Structure 1
Amino acid sequence: MKTLLTLLLSSTLSFASLASPTVEMLKENTRIETKGQLVQVHFTSAMEDVVLRLTDRYGKTLFKANYTTREPVVIPINLSQIQEGNYVLHVIGENGSNQYELENRKEASLPLMAYGKKIGPNTLSLLVVGLEKPGTRVTFFDASNKLLMQETIDEPKGFRKNYVFDKFPVEELTLKVTDSQGREKYIRFQD
């Protein structure tokens, strides 16, 4: 009789451990990390019948997936394909759910940092900083937007260079700087 009772008790405990997680178990065993537009859902222990659902501010489901894990696992969710805004990630078990607020923002690209300075009547200095890749194109135009000169400078971080134009005063020049990422800046020299 004791053997039967022990067997019954052990089988009950083993089936209870496979039951769907309660709200407290979900909260204890779930960790959410965000880095940029990547969300990582960490389950720190085995989870049975858990649903991840991502909704927008109107409650529309954008992502839904069911998971059953036998060990700790990390589930990545990429938000780069959806619009900027606030979203809610629902971690749903059979006995309840937890909600996590998420904000999706695209990384803003920094402007091209290029500076021009007149250092003489026909001489100017160009400073370009904050470049990520080499291949910056420098183009000069006269007052009628006629192309005077174009060159590519292959410096990876930035550069400083002086230009001398014997036939044109600096005030009549327009300078266009384009980096390898396509960012542009126009510089005009006026008194």
Structure 2
Amino acid sequence: MGQFILDTSARLFSEQGFAATTMEQVAATCGAGKDTLYRRYPSKAALFTALMEQLRARVVEEIDSAMATEGPPLERLRAYARQLLAINLRPELMALNRVALAEAVPAGGVRAPAMADDPLMIRFADLVRAAQREGHLADGDALFLADQLLYATSIKPMIRSMLGDAQFSDPAEQERYFAQAWDLALSGMAASASTAGRRSR
């Protein structure tokens, strides 16, 4: 029943938004009593938070599986960023992110995880550190660099798509954008030749 409640609420939130979806409607659509729903999730904010946490856990599991093979640090960092772009552009994820950003978070009671606690960003920062150790990226706060790289490669196309731009529904356009954004971001984050030389000694 717990998974069915989350799946049903995901559909209702995506279709109707946060404000228009009520706990009573979720319970009725699930065929569950309101008491059952409230015992699991004491508020609509708690239900939405549980839904987003489960979604994040699924994304982490998917990315961990995709990144299971070894390779050079910079290639792994690029693959991770590219995977995040593909995931962030999925219609079901964009729909829930739109609801979160436009309604759920501003309404209060629903909070996005702090960057330092977000398992996706922790993994991203670890890959940045590995690339830094190899001399590919400049020294600096790895979490901050990961955040900037995420914005460069994923967030802009996700926001444009959430606003109705269909450009990135084309896989070839996703790849073209990503390649340009990656090259531009790396040119700003790359270690200088002198720094890379010192690390290789």
* Range class of TM-score, shorter chain: under 0.3
Structure with bigger gyration radius: 1
Q: Bigger relative contact order, structure 1 or 2, given CA contacts below 8 A and separation 6+?
A: 2
Q: TM-score, normalised by structure 2?
A: 0.20
Q: TM-score, normalised by structure 1?
A: 0.20
Q: Which has the higher strand share?
A: 1
